[in-house]
Structure 1
């Protein structure tokens, strides 16, 4: 029947008993007549339609309606039945007396009882009824008692048994509830309906403790089971409820609590949620907070105001009812939380290292606050360890000796003193358990593994720790971090600041001048040499690493170097070094120790100041070369030894010398391990062994982007690397710097060149003899062109050629170098075929580029891409197409691959980059293939420079001006 909201109505709550779910409520609205009486006209109200009746509902009504919806049969079915079943099927199966699901019954009961308790709390002052059997919701009015009843449990022990029963009082009057048709309409907690009144209880009595007595006077506990019954039932009851006892004693006791913090080792799999990081240890530490009251120890996790323990006496039992000072217990727990031990439910689990680190920092204060800290028996361990928890301190002293540092350290574990060196393997293997003389296990503080791992990894000695002087930066870090007391000479302290480097005069035999930054580099080379350190000169390409090194080698010669120095480099650079040495240090006696026919005799080195060789030769002649003690070993383009496991790296490291130096514009090409290999050559042991470096630096830096490790690595290598970028020394550079780079032909290339040269030489010289110079110009131009192409790459004249080109390899090496540093480069060639080969090589290396030759339609688009797109760092240009009319100021490097007669054409190419708007110094590299016509043309240019500059405008004019001697020289 519909209830009209336009007429008076009343919300009421009706109690009924469900066949399986027990007592439940339903909510209704009932129409009210003109006399204010409830009528039979009613309807269900739920959360779906409650808003229609909101005018006569208060906030508690809305809460009640929502809770009552949740306990209805359909809601229970929806929540607990995974499959769609009818109510009959579901309840018959779950509540079957023999095969029913007891676990699911308990879950449903707990769900409903919790909500019934909340409903009954809200029903005070609400119209509440018992539902009639015909479904009439207002059959009988019941009331909710406004006060709470109390329960007293009685135990009467006699010679044979114990009688147990409860009594209930309401407002001081005893309620006679037994055999009175009383009903427990809720169990969690108990709500008892008696004579149309529903009572709740103080202390949230469990209804199951009252249920047996609704129709029974008492329960008899036989003497045979009383001890177990008293321990498991009576003792917990005493903690929460009032008990009257006869035949045994209950003693209430009060003490001030003493806090106990126990710790025990637990297996990782048994550990609850863990605070802090795990270092992969096989176990963790469980802290348990408890309190001692007199002789009684209670756990903090048992959050009870009263704790009861049972004592069996010869004749009876004594229950000690301990009244706890909960506030005081909380204060102790707060003290732990304040110190970082976040105790929840009386426990906390930490990684072992964190746990003992915390104990080491806080033990003394805790004991002053009254805590007793002790180790408990280990959980889940067959043999528990006895851990040391006293104070741990460390003193480290570092003092400088002649060529090393001595390290003295003492660790104090309470009364025990242990030399710091005893912890070396523990720190390196990250084993934090150290056994003391008394058998206890001390846990090494976790921070020591970070603070001192490099010290142990880099140190030497079994009984006395020593560090090489090149680890001065590490020593400095330890001193700055107050991790060691350091005694160091004034001389060594100079290494901390490069500004204190002494100015050294240039050697008398040095021809030319050094720019200010080059002079600073020359001084720095002396500086590291003076301290017997190896150095890495890592200036940008084009800044003059070669000339700085030659000046230093000339100084060694003039100051009595006792043996030759070895310069190792890629084969393609040998001739560049020879030419530079002839130019700047002509007094240096230089041996070119390369080629198939080299004399493999180290005694020859005595007649030279500098021996030039290649990495390949060092690898081949390693056994012989390591028998000589060089003054310097210098590696140019030292990234060649970036792979520490390569034969080249191993061979180079075995060589012996007084000093070591490496030159490179790219100390790190692919991986941080590149740095380890090169640094380990110049200063062995500086970065520890490979395994240590990989774990402590490479992985954290490359995979985890660990900034602290990056800073630490930088500090270790900083004193031994001098690196200047072009931008840093821009003011000291002229606007334009030109270099000539000599390239060595490969064996296959040399064979192709010699074959072609012989053919044209014979043909042209025969023609000269027979016909004079007038008729051979075309043949000479054709021959020179072919030789120039082969000097670039034989593929330009022979499509079947399968070998390599020395020039192409060198061009690609330098291109990769320049691009790797973020610079832009213009690559010019007179031959489109040559540019095609460069294109193919760039594609293979996945280096992006723009391209321009005479057939390019979208010239300006190519220019703009190069100028504006940062990802495009290479521009390939044919000399004719790009010699004029282009503005390419984004580039600061220009490579000219194949020089020809007229320098004006090359100058125009360079001016594509070197023009108004260019902010950077422009470096020009002219690539010349050694022992070819290119080298001869360059020499001829230099001899006839005035003629070339003033008169010559075409290649034909130049060829006409060549004498027989010139032609003979070109083809020799």
Structure 2
């Protein structure tokens, strides 16, 4: 502890009480002194008596050290000793311990007397002077300072400044140094000025430097100019710790410094890499931090000391470009321009990016003998694959050998999955995967599923896997693999004729569709016939059903509305098949006795209810009509269908992908299990990269994977004879009362949905609220009475609709009218009844037999209009008697509207079809129309290989409400 006997009582008690303050676990006497002085400085109201006044000044900044040489006249120059002449000054301490002048009752005390003999905790650092080559005397000191034939010697007088206040170092001494491990500082005792100066520093190393430079060795020592130059150079080299001013005649001329940035790499113990971005200058022993002071850097050139002039702004700009281009900011940040790659994977990822940049990469500097070594390149020829078989899949293992080390295939697949170019082949030894091989490995990984450490290949993925492996990979296979390959090869050239049991004339594209189905059937893998509505998916499917009929029964699951149509189409085109509606039969008996050439049709609802009955036996063929019914794999309907045993499965859907990729995965989970793997794998490998990040490579990979199992043709491509279809958007301007009602609701929605900031824990409830408000706004855009029963007026959209209907009737046209809201159709019906306009009507409550009667009536000319709820009548109906289609309100997914439009625009239509969409201006409906283009891109991106769009999140929906309507 502090020697209290050396202090007078009042000061003693004050400091002693302060030094008892806890020191945060650092038990060190000097640290306690430091804390005491710092606290004393902060207490301005401490009363000192005249006897013991001891001002404490605290400066929280770096020191400025000025080294000023003073020419010594020859006549006054003392004779230097031999050791002095050689630059070895004596080490005796010469700091003056002057006695301060008395003032009043104050007695003079030296610095030692003020604080006692406290020994500094930091030991003296070794001088760097001896390691510096003594420069030539030429050019170091101006000629006019050098007398002829005389050797000039100079005397250094260090000057210390703290925040612009000069401190006479000859009257001060460093009493304590390196006090705090958190906040390094020094204490200077100035007896003459009655003060103690506490200086905090930026770096603990600066303390030792100050101790060395200010200890007094050079104050009264004469140095020859060579030694003085070495001292000046040494002082200038510590400018980053303490700002140093050097005399121009010793510092040397200013020379522009080139700006070369290098990456210093140092392998970390265990794994990873420390990365430092530095300014490199060959004339400096140490590299510099880009953009960091000092601007003038002293160094020793061949001609002597010089000062390098840095362009800090240019350095910083270059550094930022390197950080951004090579992703240094993605690493763990350690300090200024220093990062850490915590794993070898992260390190290799960085090195791979630097390698790819070629000459544009900054130079990499490694410590001697420490580096990451790349041992060759991995190509397809170095890969050996072994394929085993089991009843439902093929097992795959593989290795490559690099530098005598076997690298498993799984390590290669993981590397490309993580977008790494290098794989480990030993201790800090790696091999680079060639770019072409990386792409092939990525495609191979898309076909493989890892289960319990084993790689499995689904039978459906064999074609793509074979193409990816190619001929340059060494394969060790089984008989089952060869048989699968031979079967595939034979099917590629197989083009069967129209089956004899199909009494229909097939168009060319329909015959191609049947052949595609026949090849999938022979191969034994499921698929999706995804033709546009109206292209004859039913007749193509009946062709494959009659071809497979003699082997066993077929089960067709279809919406209730199209069940009877299946029976009629089967009777018409495939009389050899016995079509039956499950609902009209003895249900236990029809399932038990179903045999060859039997075709049983059941609705999705009934199959879910009687799932155990259908799962109690095997079926030769399972067909899912309007397969989008199972787009959600978690529904009871989807789960029930997956329990059905079937030799072959087929899905029919004009919209296999409506909103997001999870729908596609759900379809294939039922139709071709194993092709797309688990949902977790599919989501991380395809769904998230495509939907969230618009990853074009992942989108193309998914399209390539599913392409053999999806056949999609559009009417504009295959039905050149189909009459044209024109689409027109009609906009209705809301009246003033309608606008006020709508805007009031919109603002109320925003107030409710943005309250509370949308906590993640409430996300589900928030989404439900959002959808509810969106529905309310959509209804207000149609007719205010759908939300406000007290509304007595009409609506702008209804008036636009009635005006359009009058024009159609005058032109002898008939129209299908679709709405998402049954209540909206009710409002329309009332208006039509009032005007005596005839129509047919269909919604979800219409019995199935009545549905068909009304369809037939309209086809036979009864009714100017056919009012249909979008959900109940958007599929499975043939209404070619209409040549106009009116959509009263836009639905989120344009595919649903397109399906509804296809009720009229299909085979059998002889007139041009015009589609009108009625939209309320400056409402949510206009936002929905904008989304239509994005939804179409999502479908095309996977099924046709074009761009895709992301799935709407809750915030996206709220943003639609926020959008300014005008």
TM-score, normalising length: structure 1: 0.46
